[in-house]
Structure 1
Amino acid sequence: MGVTAASSCASVVAMIGSLAGCTAPSHPPDVRDAAPEIDDVRVPIPAADPSFVDMVSPELRLEPGHEAIYCYYLDNPIGRFGSDHIEARQGMGGHHIGFRHASTHQPSGTFADCTSDQETRQLGDLFVGNDLPAGWATEIPADAQFVLEMHYINAGELPLLARDVIRIHRLPDAQITKWLHAMHLKIYDLVIGPGETTLAFTCTVPEDLALYTFWGHQHALGKRQQIDVTPPGSALYSLYDVTWGMGALVQGSNAEPVMLTAGSQIDVTCTWSPAGTVLRFPDEMCAFGGFVEGVEFSCAPPSRMP
């Protein structure tokens, strides 16, 4: 196996505490100067702060040449609250770290491989913006089970030891003037290559929403991403059309939101350059996200050829 979930962060803290004050043993030069046997990229555990809810993942060991997405599940420890930003900390070798929630709850403290699309389909999204206007916050429901999603690729020659941290900042209700939710539209069944490939999918707006900042997401072979909106009884219009690597990925405005009418069809189309081989999720992705005023808008339908 290329991946090992090591001891939990609690046991690590306990072990560190029990060793406090010990004197490090001396080693002969040949041991002291020996080459490292592991690439330790663990993020330090932060000091407790009542203004943050902290998620500290257990340790993940990843062998050379391996890639994995792991998910750490944690019950909401404080009930409903609003958050105006998060601090996501990931070590070298990390591809991404995500703050999500479980559609199907797992025992709190579960740390499991969620690389497959079937596992990932069980996760919703808890976006928290780091550049929101003062007084704006994302609502975190009381019954939400938090998921820290960590994606690592070990391209080195040594085993990699990782531990990631997400700090969720709490904003008191009295200071919140606007509540936001996540919009995340994506596909998991994509198959691209070996030549240029275009796939599309459609999602329906569940109720009237105000869309503020929004962005597309593809990986290295991404070439173009188009978002078209067709309101009920109205003509199609283009919301987002980006040549990957050239256009601004984050668009929209906190001052002038795009109004999405209930029942509108949102068509997401992604094009990839020739891959030379066949690639699937998570090697490549096609997603569209943003912040909305209204209900959470999450959608993961089957893809189609446009």
Structure 2
Amino acid sequence: MFRRADRAAWLRWTTVPATVGAVTLAGVNATAAEAYTPVDCRSTPSALRTAIAAAAPGATLSVRGRCVGPFTIGKSLTVVGRGQAVLDGNHTGTTVTIGGAAHVRLTRLTVTGGQGSRGGGILNTDGTLTVSRSTVTGNASNSTGGGIRNQGTLTVELTSVHHNTARTLGGGLDNVGPSGRLTVVRSTVHHNTAATVNGGGIFNDATARVDFSVISDNTAPVGSGGGIRDTGADGRLTLNGTLVRDNRAAGAGGGVSVGARATATLNDSQVRNNSAGTAGGGINVGGGAVTVNRTRVAGNVPNDCAPTGAVPGCIG
């Protein structure tokens, strides 16, 4: 069962809407606004590309309208959307690429229209990136990370990652080892697809933590880990107060699939109503190790956990 505080927080954040990126900057006072560099893409769709190139490191760009990219950010910047601000990759590459050791924050934006070889919507190569109060949707990768591919440090907070597709791994998010550090907080990862391999919602072979979030309705139509695939010697996954539901995998692990040498710990969470084509509709362990603490695994098809006994406290 959830602790009372955990349950209250989980209930408050499991209904983050898919349109969470469409939030205005209400309440910004005049003094704060003066520190922003305005970028108006309504009349000039390429304005943001020009502004990024001209911005001093540490600047904040305040964006309106639909900005057409792709965009590459190799310096520390904050990009804040006003109104219905959109970053559109125009299906000509990854929508936003973060390079170098930059510290970048993307806030109140919709990231869409990406078509990349690695990372459809966002590729964080080795920077420190925060995606906040945003939506990452309608992106595709020819390889991994339909929504986001992370090779550095990534925090996704109060954000919806949905309806993205990767040809291989990580339809929504791909966290790449050994250097990847992913934190998902009070967000939703839903209706993403890993078309030919594993990890419909999230693929992780590095360090990932998911707090008070929902992983739902993701699909691995050929492989394993409809919701989450955690694998490899560097695979370290922790779920806290998180709901994994209604995910599907043709192989094993409809909700969560844990592969060789990886570890996963589920605290105060739920894994329910997921389905797998072979075994472990809720959780499947294929050579790794899973620990569940105060976590409910129920209603999964064809069973809750597999192999039997691989997840102490879960009867599959």
- TM (norm. structure 2) is 0.26
Higher relative contact order (CA 8 A, sep 6+): 1
**Which structure has the larger Rg?**
1
